[in-house]
DNA sequence: GAGTATCTTGAACGAACATTCAAAAAGGAA
DNA sequence: TTCCTTTTTGAATGTTCGTTCAAGATACTC
């Protein structure tokens, strides 16, 4: 017997960065070799093919984002404060020009839409889970009396997520921090109102 | 002498549809041949190369969208009603599952970001022009007393555009008409408030 | 420490890609 | 009609792509 040498999580994070930087189709096997440090044969041995690598990278991305989400929403007792922190973090990600600014999910969704139904379904499910997680937090904020009881948590979650999508796209052309901050501020206000 | 046989506008619209359907990188020359009806040689003769075709398609897209914009905003006297119609049209585009649902600009922006600075610049400029056009309309609505005078038209335009971006992305995973309509409705309300 | 199962390596593969080009076709001018 | 110029055609080009595979390396088992 012999175990694999590489750290799978590290490899997957390298791969997801590569995919986010250049897009899935434009990321060649050579790019992936350079990014992950794995030779083609190893990649095919571990992930079957390039698409398999994307699939596992998407799953790792989901886990990482879930951990990040939980971290933000266990920071303070007041849910709406955590929500604000989360949103501020999105803005900061957009401002700092590193590749993390783009969400792998929406990026891959844009690219593979209408072409690979299975991947589209996986991404949709991931985004739905995020939406549901937000809805739960809005429900919590209602219990904490920070959001009026007559609001629909599901709708708030959808609107909030829509705002984040829009913010990220907007940031790609106008990444001025003060403008993004202002947009995020209004989004936050509109959701609370 | 001899004139070219093909209708350039038709060819460009076919090409932009192909690019929107499969993405720029994933659209092969064979796809473009099938979509436009032009043989490779003709494409290279007329547009230099695949990238040149994208450049001209982007310009055609800008012209088409500008015409569409002007059509909507000359429909009625009240600017905010036209704004609402414009937004409803975005929702309708998202609901009908044809490829037009994705904006070529944001799609290409997502794909070529960080890779082709010139194209990124062109797209940014186009989106800035759209943003400015919205700002002008919001200013007009202020003059028509439908939006309070203390609002910042530029900010409203940015927020509105952000909402449209978000709506389009959201629609890719959850294209239920009533949900999108509800989101668009709140966006409209939040902008007017 | 020998045997073996598994992983790593990187050269090699066919396919598909964007691009080129020379020959054929066709419009315009005479 | 004839000639010239430009376009159209589609096969050919070299490159790069994702993928495979056989040989070498390595760690675990006994």
A46 and A95 in one domain? no
Per residue in A2-45, pLDDT tens? 676 688 999 999 999 999 989 999 999 999 999 999 999 999 99
Instruction: For residue A39, count CB atoms less than 10 angstroms from its CB and return exposed for 0-12, middle for 13-18, buried for 19 or more.
Output: exposed
Quote the mean pLDDT of chain B. Answer: 93
Find the mean pLDDT for residues B154-162. Answer: 98
Does at least one atom of strand C sit less than 7 Å from the CB of B51? yes
Q: Is residue A128's pLDDT more than 60?
A: yes
Give a yes or no: residue B67 inside a domain.
Answer: no
For residues A62-68, average pLDDT: 96
Give tens-digit pLDDT for A129-168. 999 999 999 999 999 999 999 999 999 999 999 999 999 9
pLDDT at A69 over 80: yes
Identify whether residues B1 and B85 lie together within a single domain. Answer: no
Q: Which residue of A has its CA nearest to B111?
A: A23
Is the C-beta atom of B46 closer than 7 angstroms to strand D? Answer: yes
In chain A, the number of structural domains is: 2
Same domain? For B144 and B165 the reply is yes
**B14-41 pLDDT tens trace:** 999 999 989 999 999 999 999 999 999 9
pLDDT at residue number B99: 60
Do B38 and B93 lie in one domain? The reply is no
Which of B99, B127, B162 is the closest to A167 by Cβ? B162
Chain B residues with CB under 8 Å of a chain A CB are 21-23, 25-26, 99, 102, 106-107, 109-111, 113-115, 123-124, 127-128, 155, 158-159, 161-167, 169-170, 172-174, 179, 182-183, 186, 190
Q: Are residues A37 and A132 in the same domain?
A: no
What is the reported pLDDT for B42?
A: 94
Q: Tell me, what CATH number does A62's domain have?
A: 1.10.10.60
In terms of domains, do B7 and B95 share one? no
Q: How many Cβ atoms are within 10 Å of A61's Cβ, its own excluded? A: 22
Q: What are the tens digits of pLDDT across the range B35-71?
A: 999 999 999 999 999 999 999 999 999 999 999 999 9
How far is it, in rounded angstroms, from Cα B147 to Cα B174? 31
The rounded distance, in Å, linking the Cα atoms of B193 and B189 is 6
pLDDT of residue A42: 93
Question: Could you tell me which residues come within 8 angstroms of residue A23 by beta carbon, excluding any fewer than 6 positions away?
Answer: A107, A111, B23, B25, B110, B111
CATH number at residue B125: 1.10.357.10
Please tell me the distance from the alpha carbon of residue A39 to that of residue A37, in angstroms, as a whole number.
Answer: 7
Q: Name which residue leads in pLDDT, B98 or A61.
A: A61
CA pseudo-torsion sign A174, A180, B165, A131: positive
Same domain, A123 and A170: yes
CA dihedral B139, B145, B148, B153 (to 10 degrees): -10
Task: Note the pLDDT of residue B1.
Answer: 57
Does one domain contain both A65 and A84?
no
What confidence score (pLDDT) does residue A130 get? 97
Q: How far apart are CA B94 and CA B175, in angstroms?
A: 7
When the pLDDT of each residue in chain A is averaged and rounded to a whole number, the result is 93
Residue A127 has a pLDDT of: 96
Residue B100 has pLDDT above 70, yes or no: no
**pLDDT grade for B83, boundaries at 50, 70 and 90:** very high
**Domain coverage including residue B138:** 73-192
As a whole number of angstroms, the distance between CA A93 and CA A165 comes to: 13
Q: Which pLDDT belongs to residue A101?
A: 60
What are the angstrom distances between the C-alpha of A45 and each of A39, A40, A41? 10, 9, 6
Query: What is the 3-state secondary structure of B113-167?
Result: CCCCHHHHHHHHHHHHHHHHHHHHHHHHHHHCCCCCCCCCHHHHHHHHHHHHHHH
User: Which of A23, A170, A179 is closest, CB to CB, to B111?
Assistant: A23
CB contact under 8 A, B172 and A111: no
Confidence label for A99 from pLDDT (cuts 50, 70 and 90): low
Residue B38: exposure state from Cβ atoms within 10 A (0-12, 13-18, ≥19): buried
Residues B80 and B164 in one domain: yes
Domain-terminating residue out of A54, A72, A90: A72
* pLDDT score, position A186: 98
> Where do the H-state alpha helices sit in A23-152?
29-36, 40-47, 50-72, 79-95, 104-112, 117-143
The predicted pLDDT at position B6 comes to 85
Instruction: Report which of residues 10-39 in chain B place their beta carbon less than 7 angstroms from any atom of strand D.
Output: 38-39
């Amino acid at each position: 017997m012999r175990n694999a040498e590489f750290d799978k999580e590290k490899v997957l994070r390298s791969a997801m960065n590569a995919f986010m930087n250049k897009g899935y189709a434009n990321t060649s096997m050579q790019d992936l070799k350079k990014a992950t440090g794995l030779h083609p044969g190893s990649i095919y041995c571990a992930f079957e093919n390039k698409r398999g690598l994307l699939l596992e990278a998407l799953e790792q991305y989901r886990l990482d984002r879930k951990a990040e989400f939980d971290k933000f929403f266990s920071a303070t007792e007041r849910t709406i404060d955590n929500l604000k922190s989360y949103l501020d973090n999105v803005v900061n990600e957009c401002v700092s020009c590193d590749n993390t600014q783009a969400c792998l999910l929406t990026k891959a969704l844009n690219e593979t839409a209408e072409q690979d139904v299975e991947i589209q379904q996986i991404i949709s499910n991931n985004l739905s889970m995020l939406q549901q997680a937000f809805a739960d937090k809005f429900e919590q904020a209602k219990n904490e009396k920070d959001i009026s009881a007559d609001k629909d948590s599901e709708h708030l979650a959808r609107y909030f997520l829509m705002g984040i999508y829009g913010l990220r796209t907007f940031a790609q052309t106008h990444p001025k921090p003060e403008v993004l901050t202002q947009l995020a501020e209004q989004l936050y206000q509109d959701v609370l109102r």
